[in-house]
Amino acid sequence: MAHCIISEAEALLDKEFPVLDKGFIRLVDYMGGDTRVVQAARVSYGAGTKSLREDAGLIDYLLRNQHTSPFEQVVLTFHVKLPIFVARQWIRHRTARVNEVSGRYSVMKDDFYTPELEDIATQSADNKQGRGAALDVEIAAETQASLKNAQKDMYAAYAELIGKGVARELARVNLPLSLYTEWYWQIDLHNLFHFLELRLDTHAQKEIRLYAQTLFDITKSVAPLCCAAFERHTLGGVRFSREEFAEIQSRLENGGDGVLAGKELERFEEKLRAGRRT
């Protein structure tokens, strides 16, 4: 099959989509799309797919049944500008190829992330890694000012060391996690969907969720049928453990009497209410 040209994706190439205060995502390149997934599946499955005439139906079938290898035929390359603390969460997904700007070779830009006032909140009481209630506006403003002042001071110290001829690899060591970095990030569609499943979840930090949503919006232009199936079966779906499935069966058979109790029952019912996937 010849190279896939997708007009919607072509229109987005090299266009910056802003994220946060100074960040962005650009689609640099792509290989394949919905048609590539369909072709790869029909090669693999042979005559077994002839009953699935419509591409959307075949793609939906593949994703619903976790036949993921055809999705690996689609590859996307992004240029991303993001705060270092977001990058350190992002890089934990080790199924991509990454080239990041180096502070050893380049003088880092005076670009720092500062959260908006409404995003400055208390530590959550029940989530050790998340935010809780919004802070009083006055305290939030003081926090924001403190962050900006510290960023200004640390960059001034960095620039002073650079000016004295100190090696860039040493001058950078005190720069904070709020500093923006940039990288080229290349990933196949199957592993991108796994990234999005985790980073679009409400339990992910807000800043990386915003990047994930922009990634997903761009990816829809490359493989809209695949993205629709992903929304239906992954983002819009819920997974149940063996015990939770037994709870469902018991309720169906006994008219409301289940088998779970205590915290397990609470988590199960929360999952039903919120559509949690974990």
Which tokens go with 135? 């802070």
Instruction: Name 108's Cβ contacts closer than 8 Å, sequence gap at least 6.
Output: 101, 158, 172, 175, 179
C-beta of residue 41 within 8 angstroms of C-beta of residue 62: yes
- Among 94, 168, 199, 232, the active-site one is 199
DSSP state of 250: H
Amino acid sitting at position 274: A
Angle subtended by helix axes 242-254 and 262-274, to nearest 10: 80
**DSSP letters of 142-156?**
HHHHHHHHHHHHHHH
To the query of whether residue 199 is one of the catalytic residues in this protein, the response is yes
Q: How far apart are CA 278 and CA 204, in angstroms?
A: 13
**DSSP letters of 70-118?**
GGGG-EEEEEEEEEHHHHHHHTT--SSEEEE--TTTSPPPS-B----GG
Q: How far apart are CA 57 and CA 55, in angstroms?
A: 5
SS3 198: helix
Distance of CA 9 to the CA centre of its chain: 19
Amino acid sitting at position 36: R
What amino acid positions are annotated as catalytic residues? 199
